[in-house]
């Protein structure tokens, strides 16, 4: 049986159009940081094919460490953020080797940072640690203060002491800190 339907859609990738879009965004929001999310091989368009168009971005965000290696070999020297963080010792070592920053979305990831104190303190790269807080969508994230868990207490502070100074802004993540009523005094961490 022959189906009468069009072939799959083709996408034409124009790095110059991507670059223009980034320049436009930055001109409209000059104080903002532009992080281009290029996970899954730039959403199937070819990471290295779109790289020239991303030069004006302040950083890139992705999931895969092999893609980080390819970007570094291609000359990308700006920050790269691992959106799901590190899942084991090998990934942590590679993230430091390739000078990545990363997202922490699970308490075990924070515990791993504390467990690797010597490695993190001796590393020349001090990563920016971005926190993903579960604000109700339940698609990853540290416990939100509204539901009884408080990501700003205990070993949390210990883990963040390895991060680049000023990299973590708890006032953006912790709603109780926004009201200045945080039990851990998050406001003083900035």
DSSP β-bridge partners for residue 129: 102
0.85 cut: is pTM over it? no
| CA atoms of 27 and 44, how far apart (whole Å) | 28
Average pLDDT over the chain, rounded to an integer = 78
Q: Which residues are CB-contacts of 90 (< 8 A; sequence separation ≥ 6)?
A: none
| CA atoms of 116 and 89, how far apart (whole Å) | 9
pLDDT (mean) for 66-91: 95
Q: What is the per-residue pLDDT across 71-80, written as a single tens digit (0 to 9) for each?
A: 999 999 999 9
């Amino acid at each position: 049986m022959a189906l009468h339907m069009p072939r799959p859609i083709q996408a034409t990738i124009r790095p110059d159009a991507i670059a223009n879009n980034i320049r436009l965004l930055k001109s409209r929001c000059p104080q903002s940081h532009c992080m281009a999310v290029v996970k899954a091989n730039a959403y199937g368009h070819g990471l290295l094919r779109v790289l020239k168009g991303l030069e004006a971005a302040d950083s890139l965000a992705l999931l895969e460490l092999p893609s980080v290696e390819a970007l570094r070999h291609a000359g990308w020297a700006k920050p790269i953020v691992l959106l799901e963080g590190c899942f084991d010792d090998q990934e942590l070592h590679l993230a430091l080797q390739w000078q990545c920053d990363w997202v922490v979305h699970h308490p075990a990831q924070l515990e791993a940072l504390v467990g690797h104190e010597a490695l993190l303190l001796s590393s020349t790269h001090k990563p920016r640690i971005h926190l993903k807080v579960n604000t109700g969508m339940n698609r990853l994230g540290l416990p939100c203060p509204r539901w009884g868990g408080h990501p700003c207490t205990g070993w949390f502070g210990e883990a963040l002491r390895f991060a680049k100074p000023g990299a973590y802004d708890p006032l953006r993540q912790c709603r109780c800190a926004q009201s200045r009523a945080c039990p851990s005094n998050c406001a003083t961490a900035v």
